[in-house]
Structure 1
Amino acid sequence: MQPAVGGTRVVRTLSAVSAVAVLCCVSAFVSLHVLPVSRRLNPVSVPLSNYALTPAGWLFNGGVLALIVGLLCLLAALVAAGELSRVSLPVLVTAGCCLALTGVVLFPNRTLPDGALTPAAELHWVAAMAAFAGLPVAPLLLARRHRMRVGCSGLPRVAGWLARGASIWFVALLGGSIMAFTDRSHVWHVGGVVERALAGSEILAALLLTVWLWRGCRCYRQDEAALVVETADAPLAAAA
């Protein structure tokens, strides 16, 4: 069955709200890197979640919550546009990622004086890894679905490439985190950069999808125009 034409009022409203929420998340995360209260943290080695332990922690938590709102609105827009069914793997995975991001906020990444993780930090790590692992699923599916469609916007494909890059960053982050847990020599010093690249890729992919949904995909409009022409020609063909 042909999906509904993108760019309808409901889809445009949901995608606009999603874009605003995601941009609020980006603004919050960027601000954390320039505020004096958090500037002492080294972005090369320190994970983003450590900003939650500073006086500006409310900004980090607010950014994550804004991202959750943006992702949920994006899911609703994709369902309303007919791109995803309500009960499908991408919807369930992305909804699970939103739940995991809630865990990132609820369980701060505090460590003991010897560097060991507290129980809350362990839950935080699991939640963060689950969110990072699942967010590329929907962009990858949409990129594959629209790859061969005539006249389709290039935004889903760009989002798909960002999701592929995020998957590579995730493997690096997961391997480096495990190395940091098991290697007492602390050779893993670039976790902050890898995590920021991973988060940036996934957030940008989500933002591109919101723009794509707001504009409506050209391939849908072309299919609809072709259907109108076929319908108009049908009586003439029958009469002949």
Structure 2
Amino acid sequence: MYRHLKKYLIFIVGAFICSLFLVLAFTTDRKNDNSVNAKAEAAYNQTTTAFIGSIGETARQIGQDYNIYASVLIAQAILESNSGQSGLSQAPYYNFFGIKGTYNGNSVTMRTWEDDGTGKTYEIDQPFRSYGSLSDSLADYAALMTSSTYAGTWKSNTSSYADATQALTGTYATDSLYASRVERIIAYYGLTAYDQAPVTQTTGSTGSLVWNRYRGSYTDAETLSIDEAWASYKNYK
């Protein structure tokens, strides 16, 4: 009787120790996974923040010039180009908005996901517009948004950016959750700040910044260069 009880106790203790090791191992794995996920999210946020900084002021100016929400423009660029990391947004295509078709006769065919309108997705090869530069991509987006198809996205026809995102669903994108995806990006990164007009400052020069007459404020040289290209495009048209 004693021998059987002793074996039973040894079995119980052994099982407990094994369970403890399994719990510790599982907890450690979860901590490692969480750490990896946190680092990946931080890296993505940093990439996205840098991307916003590269197009934010140009988007602000486009929004003012074309009666559209800069916040929506930036959020769409983030979503459609994976913050400028997608193959379609890289050289030589520079398509930051996933716009299909051709641009000045140029296009590239890529695999893409579509939504049948009920939430069911499928893959298909589609031709996407190919641009020569970021400026051309931004300009073509602005031209597209001013067409009557997207009148529901205009500031003059809406009360907020949320109205504009709703108008994009089923027109700009087949994704039935497109509006909510764009809105989450706008809220997370505080993009409504770019819907405000730029602050006017006095002329001159200061530090490493240069006076940007297109914005009425100081910017870096790269931003001025983009604005000059944008202005040339508008004058050409």
TM-score range, shorter chain: under 0.3
Q: Which has the higher contact order (CA 8 A, sep 6+)?
A: 1
* Bigger share in helix: 1
* Bigger share in strand: 2
TM-score, normalised by the number of residues in structure 1: 0.25
TM-score, normalised by the number of residues in structure 2: 0.25
